[in-house]
Amino acid sequence: MRKVMMFLGVAALAAVAGGVSAWYVNQQIPSKIEYINTSPEHETQLGSHFTAFEESKYPDLTYAAENAVKAVVNIEAVQRVEMPSRGQFGYDPFLEFFGIPQNYGRHGQSEPQYRERKAGGSGVIISEDGYIVTNNHVVDGATKLRVKLNDGRTYDAELIGKDSATDIALLKIDEQKLPTLPFGSSDALRLGEWVLAIGSPYNLQSTITAGIVSAKARSLGALSNNPEDFSIESFIQTDAAVNPGNSGGALVNTRGELVGINMLIQSQTGSYIGYSFAVPEAIVKKVVVDLKQYGVVQRALLGIGFRVINQQFIDEKGEETGIKEIGGVYVASVEEGGAASEAGIRKGDILTHIDGVAINDEATLRERIARHSPNDRVKISAKRDGKVKLFEVTLRNKAGKTELLTKEDIDVSETLGGKFVDANDKMCRELDIRGGVQVTGIKAEGILARARVKEGFVITHINDRAVYSLSDLKKLTGKIHTIDGIYPNGRSASYVLVE
């Protein structure tokens, strides 16, 4: 109430000031006013920099806005969060006196208490039978999902699948003949082209903002800075206003086609300041099709470590490698038995094109490979000893095979439910191990949490298979039965999972 009164007070002062200034201006301006003649015979008076308004030369966004908004939904994600119970602090006679339960279960153990925490986001209907695409971070950890359509109808939603590497998730509601948004082409987007962002910022459903495409193939390190996480960042950057709640909403071209899924903003305040970023349609479509058909993303890998050849690379490695011109990516390592290795690509090669598309940055390289599935073939141009060579590469999955994965081929690191880093050389020497993956964080509901594994634990084997690095961990796909490792104090531990 105080804010409203303050605003009204400012408005009243502004009105008084406006009246005074208007009185002053009226006293200074002559009563006779002559208007500029804008007839053709006097058009030279306007100056050559003025042109007549021609509606056809300006973008008409109404068609796209009025049609696309019907297929954009609001998503409410409900999380069940455990709260500390009174019982954990021991018996309290004061609470007992007032008849307040102390939450004790059997054997004197306190029973956990829960509360619901709600978060919001947006989504896009992509099929008449109720499939909805959104961001993974909108639905991650939710125990219940509710979808509200543009016309006000609400539905419970089922999570079909999600992919943290691209921050895309697929939902399903039980309804037919829904309004949909057709896929456009993110490849066809041009810098400066008008686009619309549609979503539910601050729970303001069906909010539409407009801007232009500011950049393509933008990488921010927002998903992960760890190359072993397979994160794919090749964002469309726009200046359309996007705020909290827009996540998962539609980025639409002037034809009313879906060209991206709005994901994040770059801001020092947490609210929109100048730029927003969307996952391009080319990636969204691939992930959605995989999740719908297989339940998991069929991620193809090239099997190389690389560095972009920019000025920094020239300054640091130019003399050593003999590379003097920027452009392309330098193959710093080749995974033994991987797709690139089997095709004949070697360390020191400079990759320049994939399927005819120039590769001059990390985002473009990752995005071009991310369009494919294991066993797909791509043509790669590379320079070696000053000559251009063409390689036909058969891409592989994270296990180094060409077969497609199934839903049973789980993501081991995600199922474990933790954050991991490679055990450093010093730790390996102290613990007398060849290598391992150290647990730096534990998520609720994961295997590590259920097994009561503590932070700091170094995993050395899973299912009796050696895990020397994050790369080894990422290659595992089978169901987890045993976890072996060692704590920093030297205590070995084994965990057996019983179904």
Q: Enumerate the active-site residues.
A: 137, 167, 247
Buried b (16+ CB within 10 A) or exposed e, 188-201: ebeeeebbbbbbbb
Cβ atoms < 10 Å from Cβ of 266? 15
* 196, 209 contact by CB (below 8 A): yes
CA distances to 63, 73, 336, 492 from 151, in Å:
18, 9, 55, 59
Identity of the amino acid at 413:
S
Which sign, positive or negative, has the C-alpha torsion 21, 23, 29, 33?
positive
* 206, 260 contact by CB (below 8 A): no
Cβ atoms < 10 Å from Cβ of 95? 15
For 480, counting Cβ atoms within 10 Å of its Cβ (0-12 exposed, 13-18 middle, 19+ buried), the class is: middle
Question: Within 13 Å and on the Cβ side, how many CA atoms surround 318?
Answer: 12
* Of 206, 195, 182, the residue nearest 72 (C-alpha): 206
Identity of the amino acid at 280:
P
